[in-house]
Structures are given as structure tokens and as C-alpha cells.
Amino acid sequence: MTTFDLRTLRLRSGDQARERVEIALEPLVLGGQTYEPQPNPAAAGLTVTRASSGTVLELALDVKLEGPCFRCLADAELPLSLRLREYQAVHPEGEDMRTEYLDDDRLDLSAWAHDAIALALPDKILCRPDCAGLCPVCGQDLNEEPHEHAVEAADPRWAALESLREPE
């Protein structure tokens, strides 16, 4: 877990500090599959701006997730460019006036980056946009060997039910 102590900056109202930080990132587990962020630790830019009413925290981070494709299970990479912003009021009166990543002037960079990566994910991580996936009958990769299977004859025990089907 990577944290940053804001007290080391000694900022007054109107001051801004820029820091280069290395953030240790936890892997993400989606649908039982593990996706590793690369590089790990990731280089990031942290900007802290002190205002009279609070502190504005900004984090810039470029990572890519490596793991299996949702459709064919081949290796997939998902590049992410994150530009994040949080605000912490001096006297927070509501949830929107404070950040959950700041506790006693210690900023939890790992949790902030992890949550932002999870929120930036698409519905499915694919090896390529037109991934055909795996054959539901034999399990072969349809990207490498596109094929179709012959329609099997229906089980004669279901013939009585088949006669009830409406004509198409």
C-alpha cells in the first residue's frame, strides 16, 4: 500500500505542490480472472493545491491491465490513462466535501488508483474488438479456426413437443 503524507508539503492557502510518486497496485479480480496492472509500481504525478476552503488532490497515472480475454481467454491488454481529482474541505459538512482516501493527512494512493482503475474498465476486456470467442460446442478458438457444427438430429423422445411448436 502506497500512502503520501500531505504534512510534508507544508502548503499554505494558494500554494501548489507537484510530486512524482510510485504507486504499488493490487491486481484486479473480475469474473474469477486476475488482471495485473503494469508497470507495477506505477509512476504517477500527484498535484496538491491548498485553497482557503480545502485541498484539491489530482493524480495522473498511465497503466495497462494484462489478463485473459473475456471471450477467448487469450492474453489481453487494456491501456488506461487516468486523470483523477478529489477534494477535501477543511470542515467537511457532507460526503461530497471529503475524500475517502485521506485520513489524518495521509493520502492512500494505492486505494485511490485501484478504485479508479476498476471504474474505468469496459464491460468486457477483449484481446481485440472483433474477438469471436470460443466455440460453444467444441471449445476451439473461433479467431484461429472459424467453423460451424452440423445441426444434430433431434431426440425422438421430444417429437411430441416439437409438433406443438408454431411454424416459423
CA distances from 30 to 52, 116, 121, 159 (A): 41, 15, 10, 42
How many contiguous H segments (helices) and E segments (strands) does the chain have? 2, 9
Q: Could you list the residue range(s) of the whole structural domain that residue 24 is in?
A: 3-131
Residue 157 forms part of a structural domain: no
Residue 108 forms part of a structural domain: yes
pLDDT above 80: residue 37? yes
The secondary structure element, H or E, covering residue 117 is helix 109-120
Q: How far apart are CA 106 and CA 100, in angstroms?
A: 11
Proportion of the chain above pLDDT 70, given as a percent: 97
Residue range 156-163: mean pLDDT, rounded: 80
Higher pLDDT, 91 or 100: 100
The pLDDT score that the predictor gives to residue 168 is: 60
Residue 41 forms part of a structural domain: yes
This prediction's pTM: 0.79
The pLDDT score that the predictor gives to residue 110 is: 95
Cβ count near 113 (within 10 Å): 25
Give 50-78 pLDDT, tens digit per residue.
988 899 999 999 999 999 999 999 999 99
pLDDT above 90: residue 79? yes
Is residue 14 left, alpha or beta, with left meaning phi > 0 and alpha meaning psi from -120 to 50?
Answer: left
Residue 167 forms part of a structural domain: no
Domain tally, the chain: 1
Contact 7, 105 (CB under 8 A): yes
Contact 25, 41 (CB under 8 A): yes
Residue 162 forms part of a structural domain: no
Q: Any idea which of 37-41, 42-46, 122-126, 152-156 has the lowest mean pLDDT?
A: 152-156
Residue 141 forms part of a structural domain: no
Residue 61 forms part of a structural domain: yes
Residue 137 forms part of a structural domain: no
